């Protein structure tokens, strides 16, 4: 099949979150299943600067702009990426969505509306690339108008479309004026179309017009049908329930492999698990922590690598700090985002320097060192469509301690008498959305940590889990074929 995979970010060219990882690894897995895949993304200036191999496939005039379609390949997979180069929209500093001050670009609707229109033209072979898509796989609100352009504006016999929700909270909502600026047909301005309580909603383009809707875990696919997780779109999603499927993300097994990880101090695998402790010691040293407590015992080293946003339950952690610092634990947090959280966490680190270390940055290499070195990986998320870092942690024998929501509920098996006995336990989880529940889970993890052989048993079960992309890619391929 010819698959056009559209995304606003693609690892390793540009990444702000999990979407970029998926937008590289799923197409790669589809290519390995012998499909013809093109990834399509905007040519941001930072991406153009990174390209070492590229060629211009065509230059066209569209809506008064000169647009180049550039092809590059990502090595070693040789995945083909097509970039839409239109400097007035994409040649800017900052990240794909916000300026250097962290504010949304004022013309995001026009930028991504343009991206969607060009995507629809490419998919229907109208830009001279001699390639026609059978399937267009759209991701998140930035791709939301592609099914709209395909079905209502451009093509008589459009390719089939799949729309994947990576995070329903980000909907691409803009004032009515953008609807007119985008010259969309008047009949789309209704609650059955793109209107959302007086605003223009990009994500509704995908949710209303795509042939199939997917999201990134089975549990999240159920949760978003409810008012608690549906972000106001639960009614529409219930209506489309029969076209909605949850497929868990995989991980990049080359990038996240403790036996070969170039960022960590000591390589290890399930047979050489004791070597993991070298990574713990190195991380403790890096954080300025001691390796042993006054009583000679090992502290439980808890790691976090995360966007600092409300979604990630950072406030549950912050409210737990006074209680957690009474326990034999150490906590290292790598994160960036909400300034309020950054400042509060720095203040906590200043108050408890022997227990808490905070790095507010985006640092891939440190993320690897934390995931390899920590005993526990903490994710107290309010909601979590899939989550990738708990999957990396499982592979590294770093037991996830998570709130049982979304993909976390699908991928982490809580340790209790039963799951420990039948060798299914892979981590720790709690359900209630409150600090006490988090603290109780940490206390239970500490009790397990005190029993070496038990801990190792859970680690080995965690490390055996298969989160390769192959299985998920096969599931997507089946959906494409059924579309």
Residues with Cβ within 8 Å of residue 131, at least 6 apart in sequence: 2, 38, 122, 125
Beta strands in 202-327 (DSSP E): 212-215, 244-246, 300-308
Rounded Cα gap, residues 50 and 27, in angstroms: 20
Q: Does 85 bind ligand ADP (CB under 6 A)?
A: no
CA dihedral over 175, 181, 187, 192, signed as positive or negative: negative
B/e letters for 170-202, b = 16+ CB within 10 Å, e = fewer, are bbbbbeeebbeebebeeebeeeebbbbeebbbb
Q: How far is the CB of 363 from ligand ADP (least distance, A)?
A: 5
Residue 164 interacting with ligand ADP (CB under 6 A): no
Region from 23-31, 136-144, 339-347, 357-365 binding ligand ADP, contact rule CB under 6 A: 357-365
Task: Give the integer Cα–Cα distance in Å for 476 and 211.
Answer: 13
From the list 126-134, 204-212, 235-243, 303-311, the region that binds ligand ADP by CB under 6 A is 303-311
**Complex with ligand ADP: residue 79 or 402, whichever CB lies closer:** 402
- Choose, by CB under 6 A, the member of 144, 387, 406, 427 that binds ligand ADP: 387
Contact call for residue 364 and ligand ADP (CB under 6 A): yes
What is the total count of residues that contact ligand ADP (CB under 6 A)?
Answer: 17
Nearest approach in angstroms of CB 233 to ligand ADP is 18
**Site for ligand ADP contains 17 (CB under 6 A):** yes
Q: At 94, is the secondary structure helix, strand, or coil?
A: coil
Binding ligand ADP by CB under 6 A: which of 9, 21, 211, 223? 21
Place of tokens 């809707």: 213
Binding residue (CB under 6 A) for ligand ADP from 6, 18, 205, 427: 18
* Shortest reach from residue 318's CB to ligand ADP, in Å: 17
Q: Is 313 among the residues that bind ligand ADP (CB under 6 A)?
A: no
The CA distances from residue 450 to 286, 297, 411, 443, in Å, are 24, 9, 24, 11
Cα separation, 406 vs 168, in Å, equals 12
Q: Is 335 in the site for ligand ADP (CB under 6 A)?
A: yes
Compute the chain's Rg from CA coordinates. Answer: 23
Q: If binding is defined by CB under 6 A, does position 362 make contact with ligand ADP? A: yes
What's the Cα-to-Cα distance from 334 to each of 146, 207, 251, 298, rounded to whole Å?
35, 34, 20, 22
What residue number has its CB nearest to ligand ADP?
18
388 binds ligand ADP (CB under 6 A): yes
Rule CB under 6 A: choose which of 336, 419, 434, 474 binds ligand ADP: 336
Residue 307 interacts with ligand ADP (CB under 6 A): yes or no: yes
In whole angstroms, give the CA distance from residue 387 to residue 427. 15
- How far is the C-alpha of 29 from the C-alpha of 472, rounded, in Å? 9
Calpha distance 200→202 (Å, rounded): 7
Is residue 264 within the footprint of ligand ADP (CB under 6 A)?
Answer: no
CB of 358 to ligand ADP, least distance (A): 11
Nearer residue to ligand ADP within complex by CB, 30 or 304: 304
Binding mask 389-418 for ligand ADP (x = CB under 6 A): x-----------------------------
Q: Which residues lie near ligand ADP (CB under 6 A)?
A: 17-18, 21, 305-307, 334-336, 362-364, 367, 386-389
């Amino acid at each position: 099949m010819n698959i056009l995979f559209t995304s606003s970010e693609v690892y390793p060219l540009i990444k702000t979150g999990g979407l970029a990882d998926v937008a590289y690894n799923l197409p790669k897995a589809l290519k390995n299943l012998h499909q013809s895949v093109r990834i399509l993304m905007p040519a941001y200036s930072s991406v153009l600067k990174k390209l070492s191999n590229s060629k211009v496939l065509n230059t066209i005039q569209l809506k008064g702009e000169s647009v180049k379609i550039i092809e590059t390949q990502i090595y070693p997979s040789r995945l083909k990426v097509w970039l839409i180069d239109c400097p007035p929209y994409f040649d800017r500093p900052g990240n794909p969505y916000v300026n250097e001050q962290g504010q949304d670009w004022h013309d995001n609707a026009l930028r991504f509306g343009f991206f969607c229109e060009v995507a629809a033209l490419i998919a229907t072979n109208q830009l001279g690339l001699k390639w026609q898509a059978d399937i267009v796989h759209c991701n998140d609100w930035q791709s939301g108008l592609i099914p709209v352009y395909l079905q209502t504006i451009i093509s008589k016999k459009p390719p089939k479309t799949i729309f994947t929700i990576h995070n329903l909270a980000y909907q691409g909502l803009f004032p009515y004026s953008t609807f007119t600026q985008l010259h969309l047909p008047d009949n789309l301005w209704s609650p059955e179309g793109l209107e959302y309580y007086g605003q223009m909603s990009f994500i509704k383009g995908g949710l209303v017009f795509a042939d199939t809707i997917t999201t990134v875990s089975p549990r999240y696919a159920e949760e978003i049908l409810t008012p608690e997780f549906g972000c106001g779109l639960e009614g529409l999603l219930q209506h489309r329930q029969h076209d909605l499927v949850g497929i868990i993300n995989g991980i990049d097994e080359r990038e996240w492999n403790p036996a070969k990880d170039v960022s960590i101090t000591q390589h290890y695998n399930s047979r050489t698990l004791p070597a993991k402790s070298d990574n713990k010691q190195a991380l403790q040293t890096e954080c300025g922590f001691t390796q042993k407590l006054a009583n000679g015992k090992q502290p439980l080293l808890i790691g976090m690598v995360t966007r600092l946003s409300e979604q990630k339950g950072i406030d549950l952690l912050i409210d737990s700090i006074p209680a957690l610092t009474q326990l034999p634990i150490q906590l290292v947090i790598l994160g960036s985002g909400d300034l309020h959280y950054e400042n509060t966490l720095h203040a906590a680190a200043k108050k408890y320097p022997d227990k808490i270390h905070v790095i507010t940055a985006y640092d891939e290499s440190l993320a690897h060192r934390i995931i390899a070195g920590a005993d526990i990986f903490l994710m107290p998320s309010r909601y979590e469509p899939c989550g990738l870092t708990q999957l990396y942690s499982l592979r590294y024998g770093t037991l996830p301690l998570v709130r049982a929501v979304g993909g976390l509920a699908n991928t982490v098996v809580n340790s209790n008498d039963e799951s420990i006995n039948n060798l299914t336990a892979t981590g720790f989880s709690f359900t209630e959305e409150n600090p006490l529940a988090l603290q109780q889970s940490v206390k239970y993890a500490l009790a397990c940590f005190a029993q070496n052989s038990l801990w190792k048993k859970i680690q080995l079960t965690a490390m055996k889990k298969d989160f390769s992309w192959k299985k998920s890619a096969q599931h997507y391929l089946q959906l494409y074929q059924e579309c």
